[in-house]
Chain A
Amino acid sequence: MERAHDAVEMLDRPAPFADLSQNLDDIARFNAFFGGARLTMRHVKRLVADLPRDRRVTVLDVGTGGGDIPRALVRWARRAGRSIRIFALDRDGETLRAAALRMAGYPEVTLVRGDALALPVRPCSVDVAISALVLHHLPPAEAAVSLAEMDRAARRGLVANDLFRSRLAHAVVWLTTRLLARNRMSRHDGPMSVRRAYTLGEVESLARRADLADVRVHRHAWALRLCAVRTTTQHSPRRSSTQPSPQGFALQLELPRLRDQLSPRLASARRRPSPRTAGSVSARTSRP
């Protein structure tokens, strides 16, 4: 199956809030059904396994959508008795508004507006950078940049989880969205996102393009997902020469805080954020 590179998902375009919100719920349910969320969790747990247990784990979720994976990670951390801090980033204000409605009771998660292609964070400012169902929204050049950006942000490694393209995946997603999706946006976008998804080999070459030769791409046929994982070790020195931020584990934001952005005026201004400019202001998230 050829990659449908010029296809557009409804999620890519402005949509009524109710539709968007329902679609995000559908995605969360499918994540749960197919174990998509579990896969990311499994890799994250492995990447932070040898951190001291009393040390807070920090995660950056790029393209968080409804934020179901951050919530699942928080629940895991609570069960495991670990402290966690998650920065959940999305470039779309409406999506963040929908995510915010789902974050009651999850103070560990901070929503951040920003672009996967220019993460508003300093190098090495979190332990792990994750993304789920993001790569297929991006053309190859941008998908490679997003991997490089995740790598830049994370100290211990990155996990990019996405659908992979195959006929079986297409048929399964098509059937299950038809059966189970509550909303027409999901029914349209589900199969479409498989057609836009990359294959295993394509993700490997995206990683090479991002100069991340040691990314391993795992195929989870059972979940219809692949996971591109880079584990940063002493033996795989970072490309970036920057040292971990001296401030400890707080995320360095280069954009104003989300709360300021959720005003209706800003939320409706859909734009593709421009690459970071050298003079942008650096602000710290200082929520406890």
Chain B
Amino acid sequence: MSARDVIVVGAGPAGAASAILLAERGWSVTLLDKAAFPRPKICGEYLSPESARILDRLGVLKAIDEAGAQPLRGMKIVAPDGTVIMGSYPTTGPWPSHRDHALAIVRERLDQILVDRARSLPVDVRERHRVTGLLREGSNVKGVQAQDAEGRALELRARLVIGADGRASAVAAALGLLRPHRLRRMALIQHVAGLDGFDERGEIFVDPPDYAILNPVAPGLVNLGLVVPLAHARPFAGRLETFFHARLRQLPRLSARLEGMKPVGALQAMGPLAYRVKEPRAGGVMLAGDATGFYDPFTGEGIFTALRSAELLAEVAHAAIERGTLEASALRPYAEARREHFRGKARLTRALQFVIARRRLANAAAHALLRRPALLDLLMGVLGDFVPPAALFSKGFR
């Protein structure tokens, strides 16, 4: 049996980034994914400006730009009453953004580039390997049980197992950590052609209880995402396409904007979107990305969070492997770092969620942001992940 240091389960952004960062530090890494890349992933396909910093560090930013990623210099937000706000990503205060724009890119391409980068390092990348359970010794995880492409069961051992296997994470499930969330919404995502006039901006239509996002992901191709209460979609379970198009017509500002649109490819749907995952108590295992929980795609930080959590994870994992102690206590600094880095933003997104679910409040917020451009810039900076949320929280700002 090989003396493998790390098994990473899932080769999406969180898993690929973890594998890259640990392999770069000299550890032997096996990266498993049940799918073969490129594989589809339901997503709004928006990357915040600060994501570019991490993608650069991972050595893939150039490839992403060359693959046709579309720069977005900001967001256009349309309030329920039609008020339009133009947000950009300027440098605000002492927090420079890595780039003055966000990116939109088709997920198949982004994820493929990340996996290719992992493959260019000494990483043992194995596609079509589905993890089915964990190997344990006492309170520590010692490896995984998996099924290869031919359906053969195999056991792989490692000092550290990283669960980066997304929503419905097999690793989190084996540890009994998955929990439902009270917020029950569904997303419907459709690529469309025939729309233009984007002017390097994504567009968000807030129309409680729904919202929709238009994201120009490639020349002539737009990612159209619609989020609705799960209960509204459920009666249409077998006919989501019908529901989707009827719903689009019901949103007055959006339907006007969608004049002339032509669907490209299949409609993708997912719900409920939100769920929680508790912190692992076992040693020898860490979680990253969507495997740590998901709230809502409104503020588009899923990929950034996946990449950033891989960065934080790599720090702690590296130190722990080097010291040779992978007990739960040695891995705890990771949970603390995640809490410290993500808590402020998580609160902001929950608060925003509250605002956009209420028509009057959403309108009032839009009017307020129009009146206060400095506050809008700051908010865009926080949403772009380059301004710390504490800057908004601080008392001094007016």
Contacts and interface: CB of A to CB of B under 8 A. Distances in A.
Interface of A: 29, 32-34, 167-168, 170-172, 174-176, 178-180, 184, 187-188
A178 B354 contact: no
Interface residues of B, number: 21
Interface string B327-362: 000000000000000000001101110110010110
Given A33-B364, A184-B398, A188-B395, A179 B375 contact: yes
B392 interface: yes
B365 interface: yes
B355 A187 contact: no
A171 B348 contact: yes
Given A33-B358, A184-B398, A175 B364 contact: no
Nearest to A183: B398
8 contacts: A29-B364, A168-B354, A175-B392, A176-B365, A178-B397, A179-B355, A179-B364, A188-B395
A245 to B, nearest CB: 41
Contacts of A179: 355, 364-365, 368-369, 372, 375
B361 A33 contact: yes
B351 A175 contact: yes
A184 B360 CA distance: 22
A187 B398 contact: yes
Contact of A175 (B355, B358, B360, B397): B355
Given A176-B361, A178-B392, A178-B397, 19 more contacts: A32-B360, A33-B358, A33-B360, A33-B364, A34-B361, A168-B350, A168-B351, A171-B347, A171-B350, A172-B351, A172-B354, A174-B351, A174-B393, A176-B355, A179-B365, A179-B372, A179-B375, A184-B398, A187-B395
A216 B303 CA distance: 45
Contacts of A168: 347, 350-351, 354
Contacts of B375: 178-179
B350 to A, nearest CB: 6
A176 B351 contact: yes
A188 B397 CA distance: 11
Interface of B: 347-348, 350-352, 354-355, 358, 360-361, 364-365, 368-369, 372, 375, 392-393, 395, 397-398
B125 to A, nearest CB: 40
Instruction: Report the 3 A-B pairs with minimum CB-CB distance, sorted nearest first.
Output: A171-B347, A175-B351, A171-B351
Contacts of B351: 168, 171-172, 174-176
A175 B348 contact: yes
A179 B347 CA distance: 15
B208 to A, nearest CB: 12
Given A178-B392, A179-B365, A167 B360 contact: no
Contacts of A171: 347-348, 350-351
A73 to B, nearest CB: 20
A168 B375 CA distance: 21
B358 to A, nearest CB: 7
A270 B351 CA distance: 37
Contacts of B347: 167-168, 170-171
Nearest to A223: B358
Contacts of B365: 176, 179-180
A155 B75 CA distance: 56
Contacts of A178: 375, 392, 397
A124 B236 CA distance: 55
A180 B361 CA distance: 9
Nearest to B357: A222
A187 B354 CA distance: 18
B83 to A, nearest CB: 13
Most buried by B among A170, A176, A184, A187: A176
Contacts of A188: 395
A180 B364 contact: yes
B87 to A, nearest CB: 13
A34 B360 CA distance: 9
A174 B392 CA distance: 9
A40 to B, nearest CB: 18
A30 to B, nearest CB: 9
Contacts of A32: 360
A180 B364 CA distance: 7
Contacts of B395: 187-188
Contacts of B352: 175
Nearest to B349: A171
A170 B352 CA distance: 12
Contacts of A167: 347
A258 B227 CA distance: 54
Contact of A180 (B354, B368, B393): B368
A184 B365 CA distance: 17
A180 B371 CA distance: 10
A34 B361 CA distance: 8
A176 B368 CA distance: 10
A259 B368 CA distance: 38
A187 B368 CA distance: 14
A246 B398 CA distance: 55
Contacts of A174: 351, 393
A176 B354 CA distance: 10
A255 B135 CA distance: 77
A171 B346 CA distance: 9
A176 B348 CA distance: 11
A193 to B, nearest CB: 15
Contacts of A34: 361
A187 B163 CA distance: 42
Most buried by A among B347, B350, B354, B393: B354
Nearest to B366: A179
A184 B396 CA distance: 10
Most buried by A among B351, B358, B395: B351
